[in-house]
Structure 1
Amino acid sequence: MSGIASASSPQETLRGFGRRARHLVTSSPSRFAIIIFASLILLFTGLLSLPLSSAEGTVTPLSDALFTAMSTICVTGLSTVDMASHWSPFGNVLLFIGVNIGGMGVLTLASVMGMVISKRLGLRAKLLAAGDTNPMRAHGGPVNESQTVRLGEVGQLLTTVALSTLVIELSVALMLYPALVWAGIDPFAALWEAPYYAAMSFTNTGFTPNAGGVTVFADDYLVLTILMISMFLGSIGFPVIYTLAKHVWHVKRWSLHSKLTLITTGLLFVLGAAVFLLLEFDNPATFGSMDAGETTMNAFFLSAMTRSGGFNVIEMSDLNGSSMLVACMLMFVGGGSASTAGGIKVTTLAVLAIAVWSEAKGRQSVEVYGRRIPSDVQRVALSVVAWGATVVALSTVIIAQLTKADIIDVLFDVISAFGTVGLSSGLTAELPDSASYVLAATIFMGRVGTVTLAAAVAATSRSQLYSLPVERPIVG
């Protein structure tokens, strides 16, 4: 009997592990998402540390491997090593795979892995997946009957995420290949660089496979335009892509989330370019030495890439201090929700702006485009900004103390890390190991998302069946 019991114990252990995993998936999908992302980062850290991954066949130091893995899985684009020369072909393939995995998003990835382990998505996991990927959920508020019916589409939406990633990257690569060849890239080398650039632009990462990066295409408007379009598609988010695919010519049927995302993204793109033109037109290190056409193109490219793209034609350290501050603002906002971009998200900014406008007009509720934005969405928006600002402030203070570097350079790289942008003032490549770990943690916080982290920390949600007396503190 003892032999039978001992023989069955490994099976019981596996079954017990399976039960615990299913409970984790269905009861706390946010926490499960963080575990999955952290596990992927550790896995890629180990793989990138291998001698096979480096061009010189040596072991990559832990700090560099961990930072690169964090930047890859979190589709950030910052690096402590020279990406064009440090990694071997095997290492570059790892980076290519890693950004595509990370680009699918933390919640989407968690939902897919949850389906593999639990064979089904529990109701809470479905609600969470719907909240991040279902455009119907963007109508806001408690889940009503129409949204509950739509929960059955979660599997379809997750499939849409994977297929849209594949189709868009393939299309961008097919457009980039002839453009790269016309730009003077060897046709054989372009076979690798085209899909690499397609993946890095759509996922808003910003790694480049060639020495000099995008600066070699500074005068090639075709390549720059394709990269901007790919970055834009990645930054608007999968809910918007899903809505446009179904109702591209029927604007009235677009969800409020899609309208706010596209309008805010367009406004920031144009306003950002205009501000950069105004601030840099007489700077000889940037736009001052260019003609009108080059200046306009580079202003729009800079505006697009500071939103999360990560590619740069001009050196960030050459910008005026005022322009770097504007770039910090754009990076902090980032792109759309459930997208490959980071930041606090454009819909967060839109909701807060609409709330401020409604308060100034004396309205009792926050309304836009014939829809009322519920108070819980406004509270989430405030929480995201508050937590994001806290993370940026703490990281900036710690790294400034560790490096004694110029505060604008530290702030720029910290916000770039939090917003998973990938632009750098040049500081990141010179960071000591201690500061690189802090910046890596900032990347993780920015990519996983403050709301997801908060949901993971909260073990349970308690409902309060009573209301306390009202008292108004003095505000402002």
Structure 2
Amino acid sequence: MPLTFFALIVVGTLLLLLPWARSGEYSPGFMPAFFTSTSAVTVTGLATVDTSTYWSPAGQGIILVLVEIGGLGIIALATVLGLFIGGRLGLRTRLVAQADMHVVNIGEVRPLFKRVALTMIFFQTVTALVLTARYRASYFDDLPTALWHGVFDAVMAFNNAGFSLNGDSIVRYAGDGLIIIPISMAVFFGAVGFPVLAELFSGWRTPARWTIHTRLTVWGSIGLLVFGAVTFLLLEWNNPATLGGNGFGHKLVTGIEGGIMPRSGGLNSFDWGQVRPETLNIGVILMFIGGGSASTAGGIKITTFLLLAYVIWAELRGDPDVTIGARRVGPRVVRTAIAIALLAVMLVTVTTFLVMLMTDFDFDEVLFECTSAFATVGLSTGITPKLPVDAQCVIIVLMFLGRVGTIAAAGALVLRRRMPRYHLPEEQPIIG
């Protein structure tokens, strides 16, 4: 899987290096093409050049295709991994996959890929139609331009990528609920994950029968949305650089965006470089948690985060087992979640330290940038184009590992099943 995505990044780089992929006044450059291709394939959205001016319409089309292929491949392969290799999404989820997606074994993944593709097309088409109508009515004089912007933004939103055809992302649409809300909802559903969407499609009326995975993802996503929106509104309500001076409706719409986009969206209608330090820290936390498994979102995933919370709760209560609802979570899953979280902390910490050595930016800016890259979010305080080449290489590696590495690592940890022939004597070191 990592080699497949790396090959796609190489192909995208070569295509973006072609003369017709750039605007006429820009000379060819390997790093802009390589960085943009990596960011597109990993559905991140960080960019060292202005997408609206540096790339020609053909180059922007290449970016759109790379994002679409990257998003489809990540969702489909991660779903296959969870359903068939890991086998850790529960019996009901696998039965749903068999009945609803007509998938019985690993050799019948084509219907699964088809369902994933149709789901993506449905959400993107609906979002594109809504955005196109609004763009045509209020922002663009001709239908082709409105349609191109609507399709591009819809693809970026559902795939949780932060590229935009505007030099200021979606700042020009700030406070426009008919644009911000559809984009935010597309980001939200894209971050839920296909296994959850498939289960909700057939059983959304019966939450009591949802699998543990779906419960954690749905309620956790809603909880983080409310937490992110409320904290953003409270912290930025009177900040003149973000929400201060705007009306209640404008603030509410932007607050919803502020609660959703840090989870992995990447599009922004305000300058994250002007938010309060406390808001920046909340954004780092939301980015690090990310969205649902087998989705276009990044981060350690909300199921991992909530599972660790249940582990802590079980330890505080002195329970021998970790239980969620009426189900017990096996120790192997708990160990995998702990390993993924600790690897992510180590990766973000090391890369933040390296980028700080290479640049003169403040710690909070660098931490935000590295977390955004690892979680494939695409939000930035504005330092991405100012990074030197060596720091750009660090961000490239971080985007690749943050997107492909976490899935591959999870699969590798699940697959490493060894039955010991003996047990060593037990000893308990002092903890704490």
The alpha carbon displacement at 1:439 in A equals 0.4
CA RMSD of aligned residues (A): 2.6
Q: Point out the more displaced range, 160-169 or 411-420.
A: 160-169
SS in 2 for 1:309: coil
Match of 2:84 in 1: 127
**How do 1:104-253 residues align onto structure 2 when only pairs under 5 Å count?**
104-106=72-74, 108-109=76-77, 127-128=84-85, 136=93, 154-186=109-141, 187-253=143-209
Mapped to 2, the partners of 1:126 and 1:265 lie a distance apart of 21
SS in 2 for 1:104: helix
For structure 1, list consecutive stretches of 5 or more residues without a partner in the other structure.
1-32, 113-123, 140-147
The alpha carbon displacement at 1:340 in A equals 0.4
| Matched residue type, 1:307 | R
Match of 1:66 in 2: 34
Q: Deviations over 1:170-205 (max 9, x none)?
A: 121122211212222232201211111110000000
Q: 1:338 pairs with 281, 294, 303, which one?
A: 294
Q: 2:13 pairs with 26, 45, 62, which one?
A: 45
Mapped to 2, the partners of 1:111 and 1:332 lie a distance apart of 21
TM-score relative to the length of structure 1: 0.84
> Aligned pairs, how many?
425
Is the 8 Å Cα contact of residues 45 and 378 (structure 2) preserved in structure 1?
Answer: yes
Mapped to 2, the partners of 1:128 and 1:134 lie a distance apart of 14
The alpha carbon displacement at 1:288 in A equals 2.0
Q: Deviations over 1:62-112 (max 9, x none)?
A: 111111000000000000000111111111111111001111243735999
Q: 2:403 pairs with 447, 456, 464, which one?
A: 447
The alpha carbon displacement at 1:378 in A equals 1.0
The alpha carbon displacement at 1:469 in A equals 1.3
| Matched residue type, 1:357 | W
Larger radius of gyration: 1
Q: Point out the more displaced range, 335-344 or 294-303.
A: 294-303
Q: 2:259 pairs with 283, 303, 316, which one?
A: 303
SS in 1 for 2:295: coil
CA separation of 1:138/1:258 partners in 2, compared to 1, >3 Å: closer, same or farther? farther
Is the 8 Å Cα contact of residues 73 and 101 (structure 1) preserved in structure 2?
Answer: yes
Mapped to 2, the partners of 1:457 and 1:367 lie a distance apart of 21
Mapped to 1, the partners of 2:20 and 2:326 lie a distance apart of 58
| Matched residue type, 1:286 | T
The alpha carbon displacement at 1:222 in A equals 1.0
Is the 8 Å Cα contact of residues 214 and 313 (structure 1) preserved in structure 2?
Answer: yes
Q: 1:274 pairs with 212, 221, 230, which one?
A: 230
Match of 2:55 in 1: 87
Match of 1:145 in 2: none
Q: Deviations over 1:387-413 (max 9, x none)?
A: 101110111011110012111111110
SS in 2 for 1:423: coil
| Matched residue type, 2:33 | A
Q: Deviations over 1:273-320 (max 9, x none)?
A: 111122222222112222332222212211110110111111011011
Is 1:422 matched with 2:378? yes
SS in 2 for 1:236: coil
Q: 1:55 pairs with 5, 19, 23, which one?
A: 23
Q: 1:467 pairs with 414, 418, 423, which one?
A: 423
Is 1:375 matched with 2:331? yes
Q: Deviations over 1:358-409 (max 9, x none)?
A: 2222222111221111111111111111010111011101111001211111
TM-score relative to the length of structure 2: 0.92
The alpha carbon displacement at 1:458 in A equals 11
Mapped to 2, the partners of 1:247 and 1:161 lie a distance apart of 18
CA separation of 1:110/1:227 partners in 2, compared to 1, >3 Å: closer, same or farther? closer
Is the 8 Å Cα contact of residues 84 and 105 (structure 2) preserved in structure 1?
Answer: no
Is 1:361 matched with 2:329? no
The alpha carbon displacement at 1:150 in A equals 6.3
| Matched residue type, 2:421 | L
